[in-house]
Amino acid sequence: MPDSTPTHAQAAMAPQAGWQSLVADWSSDQRAFKSASWGKAMMWIFLLSDTFIFGCFLLAYMTVRMSTTVPWPNPSEVFALEIAGTNLPLILIAIMTFVLISSSGTMAMAVNYGYRRDRVKTAVLMLVTAAFGATFVGMQAFEWSKLIHEGVRPWENPLGAPQFGAAFFMITGFHGTHVTIGVIFLLIIARKVWRGDFDQERRGFFTSRKGRYEVVEIMGLYWHFVDLVWVFIFALFYLW
Amino acid sequence: MSGMAPGADQAIPPAETAEVELYHPHSWLTKYVFSQDAKVIGIQYSLTAIAIGMVALVLSWLMRLQLGFPGTFSFIDANTYYQFITMHGMIMVVYLLTALFLGGFGNYLIPLMVGARDMVFPYVNMLSYWIYLLAVLVLVASFFVPGGPTGAGWTLYPPQAILSGTPGQEWGIILMLLSLALFIIGFTMGGLNYAVTVLQARARGMTLMRMPLTVWGIFTATVMALLAFPALFVGAVMMLFDRLLGTSFFMPTLVEMGQQLRYGGGSPILFQHLFWFFGHPEVYIVALPAFGIVSDLISTHARRNIFGYRMMVWAIVIIGALSFVVWAHHMYVSGMHPYFGFFFATTTLIIAIPTAIKVYNWVLTLWRGNIHLTLPMLFALAFIVTFVNGGLTGLFLGNVVVDVPLSDTMFVVAHFHMVMGVAPILVIFGGIYHWYPKITGRMMNEAMGQFHFWVTFLGAYAIFFPMHYLGLLGIPRRYHELGEMSFVPASAHDLNAFISIVALVVGFAQLVFLFNLAWSLRHGRLAGGNPWNATTLEWQTPETPPGHGNWGKELPVVYRWAYDYSVPGAEQDYLPQNHPGPARGTAGTAA
Ligand code: HEM
Ligand SMILES: [Cu+2]
């Protein structure tokens, strides 16, 4: 009945919008987030907790940057590369950031194809994402070795405050670990997608539960989060 | 509609998610040891926590022996005393109370009380326990390494925590920090499960506002822990780096024995902020589950609906939120801008409002209730008294001007033992006496329980009440002996000896409790499915102890809140939550 005005009953059944629907969901039974599966809800809450970890790390970095009396090295000089005779400040980090942001793009596409149950494209895009991630970690390793070569250590720093090296290695290391873990899981899930585990409802080795394509999206949540954190590290460490 | 029960005033919505696939244990090993069943994991958590708690208890005896009879025990010197207080404090707070409330009670009760078959991710939940066990083992290992466990105090303040001169500087502090980091990782795995199970895996009809307060308390505490532990994790990682790599996050420029150390430029206050951003919420992480459990104990054993259920829920949530903005009340003597002191004192005192509401509501629930002085009820009553006592001294310490002279005295020791030591422990005992019949199918022995209760309750007062007085005299905390101080009257030494003797007696009573736990397993009176005539879902399981998957074939459907006691006209004076029929009380009156 496309033309008829909604009856009272229909109006009551119609999905509510905005705050009302929020209140309705939370005062309902069974689930507070109606559209989120268990796995997704869990990932969101985990990311919230992880946000606090990174938040504490970054606040700690700012605090020691203020507490030390030795001058802080100038990031655009420290993170400059000599390429073909020209001195390019922050060039490596710009490329790294670009790579990581691009990987978020391919991840988003993988999620999209995952929902269309396009096995091959999903798996390939996840592999590309993983490759971007691995490139990022590789470039970070290069940057670490360059700094180490210049004498920067967690405990000392010929360029200025020792807290610079300490905070740099700790925070980028912690973030790099996140990326590395992400790459590992991307590979594992890409393999499952490729093999068709989610189409055949094959059971997981450890959990003995059937996986679903949704895992791709949950993986995506994590990956975008790691990306977002990088933006903050980039802004607070390299640009400040 | 077929799903609607006769008389229900409100249709129960159909199930939104398909039945979960349960994992099926194939061997004895996967059924009882590497089990993914939340009930088994809960019991594993509880037993491990109690075991390590016994270590902390023994340490408290040793400390008390030293304080009561200084110089008598040659194996306790200043160094070992520091190690004892540190390990005692940390074990009690983190490895006993947090693990027991969230890992133990949380695992056992959440799925049962919200009507789920298990936690949402049983495998991750299992890992949580094993990492916790590993954390405990690492902690225990620190007793056996060269130099012994750390003696930095449970607050682990740098720079002293990692400098020579503090016992355990060699290995103890490293193992302590590692163990904490492990604990946090393990807890996070479990905590995500508890939170998501409550949010997303409730039974049909189980709205958030029909959940028993036990679940509310544990749930809120879990969310708090997920947000507070990160600060401790970061602090632990950074201190590990300071100790192992020689970074200077927390280390200022220092001179030791005339030598300048390689450290410099760090901020010791930064650690205090990180620690207390965790540390204060931690107090409520152990208090909120206690609040929740005690509400249910009181309501059940006084046969009366909880007074002001909605108020109770909101009070829990508000306390949880506020406790993230009060942390610096632990740092008044660290030096801070007076405006900050003002801010933190104000927020601290504001928390007293929702807390007081809860106390009033407990008392009003008891008012004209049909109070059965069962063991759980005795412990619940003892909790209220003790908690009020500790809460009142908290009001003193929350004010900057009062705290400054009292800081680092025995008054503080008395305060926090009352409010976060004795009070939650009493609830744990009450909870165990209450749920033991569900877990084992048998009642705990009443005579031993009465003995345990009276000795523990009166003993705890005899131990900690006089400490207020000692603190007001100015007797410092963390001193292994008082020596000759002109302001300490001779009677204070006698008082100390008295406290120590009582502490030994109270400790002995705990052995009786442990014996009772084991004894009743075989010889306790058979309990039946619902010995307390309680309304909440865990008492309505088809089997006792509940089987794997909790509910047999049919998941329960919830028609009412958890507090329909003394219902006029009801056959048995109460209506279980899954009882169809006219709803009563505040929940379910939507029609
Ligand atoms: C049998 C009962 C207990 C006795 C006799 C006892 C005794 C003591 C003593 C003598 C101290 C050291 C005071 C000092 O010299 O500064 C202490 C410290 C402490 N206790 Fe207990 N305690 C008991 C139970 C608990 C419980 C259940 C908790 C749980 C919260 C707890 C938490 C602490 C903490 C956090 C410290 C501070 C450690 C430090 O200063 O670093 N205690 N206790
Ligand atoms: Cu506090």
At B332, which CATH number?
1.20.210.10
In a domain, B334, yes or no: yes
Residue B153 is assigned to a structural domain of this protein: yes
Q: Which of B356, B112, B93 is nearest to B229 (CA)?
A: B93
Number of other residues whose CB lies within 10 A of the CB of residue A227: 21
pLDDT band at A198 (very low <50, low <70, confident <90, very high): confident
pLDDT at site B586:
44
Q: What homologous superfamily is domain A36-238 in, according to CATH?
A: Cytochrome c oxidase, subunit III, four-helix bundle (1.20.120.80)
Atom of ligand 1 nearest to the CA of B63: 10
Chains A–B, number of C-beta pairs less than 8 Å apart: 148
Q: Which of B121, B203, B206 sits opposite A42 (nearest CB)?
A: B121
B241: left (phi over 0), alpha (psi -120 to 50) or beta: alpha
Residue A84 tokens, joined? 């073909």
Tell me the pLDDT tens digit for each residue of A72-108: 998 888 888 888 888 888 889 999 999 999 999 999 9
**B536 contacts B113 by C-beta, under 8 angstroms:** yes
Mean pLDDT on A140-158: 93
Assign A209 a pLDDT band (cuts: 50, 70, 90): confident
Residue A1 pLDDT greater than 50, yes or no: no
A175-201 b/e (C-beta count within 10 Å ≥ 16 → b): bbebbeebbebbbebbebbeeebbeee
B208 part of a folded domain: yes
Contact across the interface for A162 and B238, Cβ inside 8 Å: no
Which backbone phi and psi does B207 adopt, to 5 degrees?
-80, 165
Phi/psi region, residue B258 (left: phi>0; alpha: psi -120 to 50; beta: rest), is left
- From ligand 1's centre to the CA of B461, what distance in Å? 14
In a 13 Å sphere around the CA of B119, the CA atoms on its Cβ side amount to 31
Six-digit token string for A188 = 């594992």
- A9 pLDDT higher than 70: no
pLDDT band at A11 (very low <50, low <70, confident <90, very high): very low
**B587 inside domain:** no
The ranges assigned to domains in chain A are 36-238
pLDDT in tens for each of the 591 residues of chain B?
A: 333 343 444 678 888 888 777 777 778 888 888 999 999 999 999 999 999 999 999 999 999 999 999 888 889 999 999 999 999 999 999 999 999 999 999 999 999 999 999 999 999 999 999 999 999 999 999 999 999 999 999 999 999 999 988 999 999 999 999 999 999 999 999 999 999 999 999 999 999 999 999 999 999 999 999 999 999 999 999 999 999 999 999 999 999 888 999 999 999 999 999 999 999 999 999 999 999 999 999 999 999 999 999 999 999 999 999 999 999 999 999 888 889 999 999 999 999 999 999 999 999 999 989 999 999 999 999 999 999 999 999 999 998 889 989 999 999 999 999 999 999 999 999 999 999 999 999 999 999 999 999 999 999 999 999 999 999 999 999 998 887 788 888 889 999 999 999 999 999 999 999 999 999 999 999 998 999 999 999 999 999 899 988 998 889 999 999 999 988 877 788 999 998 876 544 444 333
> Total domain count for chain B?
1
Question: What stretches of chain A show up as alpha helix (H) in DSSP?
Answer: 8-13, 18-26, 38-67, 75-78, 91-115, 119-149, 162-195, 197-200, 214-233
Q: Residue A8: is its pLDDT beyond 60? A: no
Nearest Cβ partner for B234 among A32, A39, A57: A57
Checking if the pLDDT of A158 tops 50, the result is yes
- Bridge partner list, A83: A86
Is there a domain that residue B545 lies in? Answer: no
| CA distances to B279, B287, B329 from B349, in Å | 17, 17, 10
> How high is the ipTM of this complex?
0.92
Nearest CA in chain A to B246: A155
Please report, to the nearest 10 degrees, the dihedral formed by the alpha carbons of residues B301, B302, B308, B309 taken in order: 20
SS3 (DSSP) at B442: strand
Interface touch B274/A60, C-beta < 8 Å: yes
Nearest residue (by CA) to ligand 1, atom 3, is B60
pLDDT of residue A27: 87
A49 interaction partners in chain B (CB closer than 8 Å): 188, 192, 226-227, 229-230
Q: Which residue has the tokens 């005339």?
A: B258
User: What is the pLDDT, as a whole number, of residue B181?
Assistant: 97
User: What string of DSSP letters covers B356-424?
Assistant: HHHHHHHHHHHTT------HHHHHHHHHHHHHHHHHHHHHHHHSHHHHHHHTTBHHHHHHHIIIIIIHH
Query: What is the rounded (10 degree) CA torsion for B567, B573, B578, B579?
Result: -70
Smallest CA–CA distance, residue A211 to chain B, in Å, is 12
Q: How far apart are CA A235 and CA B469, in angstroms?
A: 54
d(CA B147, CA B171): 7
Amino acid at B6: P
Neighbours of ion ligand 2 (CB under 5 A): B 280
Alpha-carbon distance of A180 to B272, in angstroms, equals 31
Ligand nearest to the CA of B153: 1
Q: How far is CA B85 from CA A103, B91, B165, B262, B394, in A?
A: 50, 10, 16, 30, 22
Please report where in the chains the tokens 């406290």 appear, as a residue: B499
Among B16, B194, B199, B206, the strongest candidate for a mutation testing the A interface, having the largest count of A CBs within 10 A, is B199
pLDDT of the residue at B2? 36
Determine the pLDDT at residue A15. 59
The whole-angstrom separation of Cα B383 and Cα B460 is 11
* Cβ-based neighbour number of residue B253 at 10 Å: 13
pLDDT number for residue B68: 93
Mean pLDDT, chain A, rounded, equals 89
Question: What is the atom index within ligand 1 of the atom nearest the CA of B53?
Answer: 27
Percent share of chain A, pLDDT over 70? 93
Q: Which atom of ligand 1 is nearest to the CA of B286?
A: 30
Q: Could you list the residue range(s) of the whole structural domain that residue B219 is in?
A: 38-251+276-540
Number of the ligand closest to the Cα of B347:
2
Of the candidates A42, A60, A67, the beta carbon closest to that of B196 is on A42
More confident residue, B361 or A21: B361
Q: Give the phi and the psi of residue B542 in degrees, each rounded to 5.
A: -65, -30
Domain assignment of residue B374, yes or no: yes
**Closest to B91 in 3D by CA, of B134, B118, B55, B129:** B55
What's the confidence (pLDDT) of residue B582?
Answer: 64
**Cross-chain residue pair B274–A207, CB shorter than 8 Å:** no
Residue A204 — very low, low, confident or very high, per pLDDT cuts 50/70/90? confident
Residue B549 lies in a domain: no
Phi-psi region of B158 (alpha: psi -120 to 50; beta: other; left: phi over 0): beta
Ligand nearest to the Cα of B70, by number: 1
The DSSP output letter for A154 is: S
Q: Which residue has the higher pLDDT, B86 or A1?
A: B86
- CA–CA separation, A104 vs A125, rounded Å? 11
* Residue positions counted in chain A: 240
- Cα separation, A147 vs A79, in Å, equals 9
Position B1 scores a pLDDT of 33
Q: Which residues of B526-547 are buried (b: 16+ CB within 10 A; e: fewer)?
A: ebeebbbebbbbbbbbeebebe
Rounded average pLDDT over A208-225:
91
Q: Which amino acid is at B439?
A: I
B contacts of A33 (beta carbons < 8 Å): 199-200
| A89: preceding bond cis by omega (within 30 degrees) | no
Residue B546 lies in a domain: no
* Any ligand 1 atom below 6 A from CB of B92: yes
Distance from C-alpha of B380 to C-alpha of B290, rounded to nearest angstrom: 10
* DSSP secondary structure string for all residues of B79-96: HHHHHHHHHHHHIIIIII
Q: How far apart are alpha carbons B85 and B81 in whole angstroms?
A: 6
